[in-house]
Structure 1
């Protein structure tokens, strides 16, 4: 919370410092510089503490999920193991567990700070100029819609990616566990081809997701740039009209 509040106050004090320079207020300039330095130190210090706390929490969550998943696997009936490859299970224990915890860890570290930043930023924007704030808010709707559509599509693609990687891991585990049989029947190239097919499938879907992610990023960036140009044009026009 302190880190988010300090981040909100930093731009404001930058403007105050510039005002002190323009008005040649030396005493106010020194005071505001010291406050700015204090806020900068607070941002770095409390930001590091926040990241440490949430990283530790994420590590503990990942460890708990992985151990509980392994315990749940061990107590299953033998029929369960007859229908599941060992490679799939090891993939779930390693890669999928980390992938499942990563979003939760990110949410833990960003939700609170982002909420404070959002509320504080909106209040400061409206306080500074409600006209420019309303103009800036017009881009929020399109960005939310595009990101939401991409997120749903990307979730499906990532499920397919993890499934393909699980198949590849299963094939590799079985081939390595039975390497003598593979060598005896000269099936090295066959096992390699099956493994490569699964990896290529994962790569193909990953490339699609990368292109879609790049397009979404470009759209949001262009929206932000366009609203920046619009704000500068509108704000500058109003300022010049008032000066006349």
Structure 2
């Protein structure tokens, strides 16, 4: 990209367009799209098999428990573990792993290219890395704690619905429809409150990261422009540096989401 821009800017006669470099960018983009499609398909297929295996293993483990164990554990909680929790674990073992590998590689390659273009500008850009890591770490701990509480609240709601439907004749006989509905609404409301806290925290996290990242992008552009004026960096190199900086920032953000989930 930087080579293309430098050739266009330095081409005073306007005689030719750097078609070879543009063709190379196109071919690399197509290759990246193909590999991305193969990766996505492979991990989605693996995820489906993991879900099946986990559910079957968990179900068989439940059936092997002593009868007294079923008196201590609520039916709705077991059902929730077989459905929601298994799906989340499968996502971590397949989809999240795929994303972690992809964005880790993207981060490493982008960082290598940045140091190749300008090590001084790269060091300036990385000044804010500890701050971003600290913000993501704090947010990750908060999300982890709330996620556990949310899953417990969903399990409680699932237990109420399962028990009520399984014993609907008894509920009808004692005219307890309204009472059970109120209990279920209370459990669902507890889950909603936790999910709203997660949503609010996610919004503040995005705002904080966006402000910090935007500030450091401006710092990079300012210092990069200074290097261009001094002749230590070309306009094409600065443009390429900004592109790779955005690529690396995207990778860091996605890795934060993956590890927080």
TM-score (norm 1): 0.88
Once the two structures are superposed, residues 119-156 of structure 1 have per-residue CA deviations (whole angstroms, 9 ceiling, x without a partner) of 21111111111111111111111111111111112111
User: 1:33 and 1:233 mapped to 2: Cα distance?
Assistant: 28
- 2:173 corresponds in structure 1 to 184
Indicate if the aligned counterparts of 1:20 and 1:26 stay in contact, CA closer than 8 A. Answer: no
- Could you list the runs of 5+ residues in structure 2 that have no partner in the other structure? 233-261
- 1:163 corresponds in structure 2 to 152
User: 1:36 and 1:241 mapped to 2: Cα distance?
Assistant: 29
User: 2:72 and 2:101 mapped to 1: Cα distance?
Assistant: 43
User: 1:197 and 1:237 mapped to 2: Cα distance?
Assistant: 60
Indicate if the aligned counterparts of 2:44 and 2:95 stay in contact, CA closer than 8 A. Answer: no
- 1:99 corresponds in structure 2 to 88
User: 1:18 and 1:132 mapped to 2: Cα distance?
Assistant: 19
Once the two structures are superposed, residues 4-48 of structure 1 have per-residue CA deviations (whole angstroms, 9 ceiling, x without a partner) of xxxxxxxxxx22222232334867712112212211110111110
Q: Does 1:19 align with 2:6?
A: yes
User: 1:221 and 1:109 mapped to 2: Cα distance?
Assistant: 25
- Could you list the runs of 5+ residues in structure 1 that have no partner in the other structure? 1-13
- 1:127 corresponds in structure 2 to 116
- The 3 A distance-change label for structure 1 pair 138 and 76 is same
Indicate if the aligned counterparts of 1:150 and 1:216 stay in contact, CA closer than 8 A. Answer: yes
Q: How does 1:1-244 map to 2 (within 5 A)?
A: 14-24=1-11, 29-242=18-231
- 2:237 corresponds in structure 1 to none
Query: Equivalent residue of 2:37, what SS?
Result: helix
Q: Which moved more, 1:167-176 or 1:233-242?
A: 233-242
TM-score (norm 2): 0.83
User: 2:173 and 2:86 mapped to 1: Cα distance?
Assistant: 36
Higher RCO by CA contacts (8 Å cutoff, separation 6 or greater): 2
Once the two structures are superposed, residues 60-94 of structure 1 have per-residue CA deviations (whole angstroms, 9 ceiling, x without a partner) of 11111111000000010001111112111111100
User: 1:181 and 1:175 mapped to 2: Cα distance?
Assistant: 9
Query: Equivalent residue of 1:139, what SS?
Result: helix
Query: Equivalent residue of 2:40, what SS?
Result: helix
User: 1:165 and 1:35 mapped to 2: Cα distance?
Assistant: 51
Please report the RMSD computed on the Cα atoms of aligned residues, expressed in angstroms: 1.8
User: 1:127 and 1:218 mapped to 2: Cα distance?
Assistant: 31
Runs (4+) off by over 6 Å: 25-28
Query: Equivalent residue of 1:138, what SS?
Result: helix
User: 1:42 and 1:114 mapped to 2: Cα distance?
Assistant: 17
User: 1:72 and 1:166 mapped to 2: Cα distance?
Assistant: 19
Query: Equivalent residue of 2:94, what SS?
Result: helix
